[in-house]
Amino acid sequence: MRSGESGDDVGMDASELGLLVAVMLAAAVEFVEAFTIVLAMGITRDWRSTLAGTAAALVVLAFVTIVAGYALVQWFPESLLQLVVGTLLLIFGLQWLRKAVLRSAGLKALHDEEAIFREEAAAAEGAGNETVMGLDGFAFVVSFKGVLLEGLEVVFIVLTFGLTAGNVPLAAAGAAIAGAIVLSVGAVLHRPLSRVPENTIKHGVGILLTTFGTFWAVEGLGVFAPGGESLGWPGGELAIVVVLVAWFAVSRALVFALRRRVAEPVQPAAA
């Protein structure tokens, strides 16, 4: 039984909206991190080499997206795709949620774009001046690696969300909009985007990724049923909202519980 049989109209809208919001937020966070690295290289080293490294990374990312997307669609039947992609998305999203919960509870340091910018800039100033084909090798490699690694997370989210929801163009559009916003704001400010409430966004994205991951992974278990069709959720895709609320409530409860533990005074050891 397909999950969307009941409440298709409302379910599709909620699913697509969730898809767009999740991809935009996740991509925005990654673009902010990539922007910090690119800005540090551009300011301290050489903009031409930095932009060349960024462009090279974007070409690799586009290639990976097309090849991986085509392979996944060709090789996997729908329910198996939901299971594999849903499980990957769930585990990947739990990384985000775990870190956000630990940061909110005060058990992990917050991400500091200003500090990262200073570190990258200091490393760039101290590096050698080797040039390759007229380009500054250090600026090229660091910006290439930074954009590639942060971009891979965006590609992963675009592909997993897009393929499972059957709407890669919408997912890609969400990432592109986020990229355009971050680049525009960054170009105007010309400094690290440190005022972005990164942990709050990561917490929200973590909840969205784990919600959709849970929904699709469980749906995909239908591949083991005699007919091999996706498992049905009660209420169809409206169940996504219930799962979302459950993850949100649990994550807030975890933050509360862990924060209390941090605040508890350490008992002196018995003599």
Partner 1 sequence: MRFLVAFGRFWYDFVVGDDWRIALGVVLVLAAGAVLVATGALADEVLAPLLAAAIIAVVSVSLVAGARR
Binding site for partner 1 (CB under 8 A): 1, 83, 87-88, 90-92, 94-95, 98, 101-102, 105, 107, 152-153, 156, 210, 214-215, 217-219, 221-222, 224-226, 231-234, 239, 242-243, 246-247, 250, 254, 257-258, 261
Give the residue with the Cβ less far from partner 1, 19 or 240. 240
Tokens at residue 10, please? 């409302």
Q: Is 259 left (phi over 0), alpha (psi -120 to 50) or beta?
A: alpha
Shortest Å distance, C-beta 45 to partner 1: 26
Give the residue with the Cβ less far from partner 1, 8 or 153. 153
The answer to whether residues 41 and 125 touch, using CB atoms and an 8 Å cutoff, is: no
Shortest Å distance, C-beta 224 to partner 1: 4
Shortest Å distance, C-beta 191 to partner 1: 29
Quote the Cα angle for 179-184-190, to 5°. Answer: 115
For residue 257, the tally of other CB atoms under 10 A from its CB is 11
By CB atoms closer than 10 A (0-12, 13-18, 19+), residue 82 is: buried
DSSP secondary structure code for residue 236 in this structure: G
Shortest Å distance, C-beta 104 to partner 1: 12
Length of the chain as a residue count = 271
Q: Report the Cα 261 to chain-centroid distance in Å.
A: 29
Shortest Å distance, C-beta 234 to partner 1: 4
Give the residue with the Cβ less far from partner 1, 44 or 160. 160
Integer Cα distance of 245 and 179 in angstroms: 28
Integer Cα distance of 210 and 207 in angstroms: 5
Q: Report the first-to-last Cα separation within the chain, whole angstroms.
A: 65
Closest CA to 129 of 37, 46, 56: 46
Shortest Å distance, C-beta 67 to partner 1: 15
Give the residue with the Cβ less far from partner 1, 61 or 101. 101
Give the residue with the Cβ less far from partner 1, 112 or 153. 153
Shortest Å distance, C-beta 219 to partner 1: 8
Give the residue with the Cβ less far from partner 1, 166 or 232. 232
Give the residue with the Cβ less far from partner 1, 35 or 247. 247
Tokens at residue 242, please? 């219930």
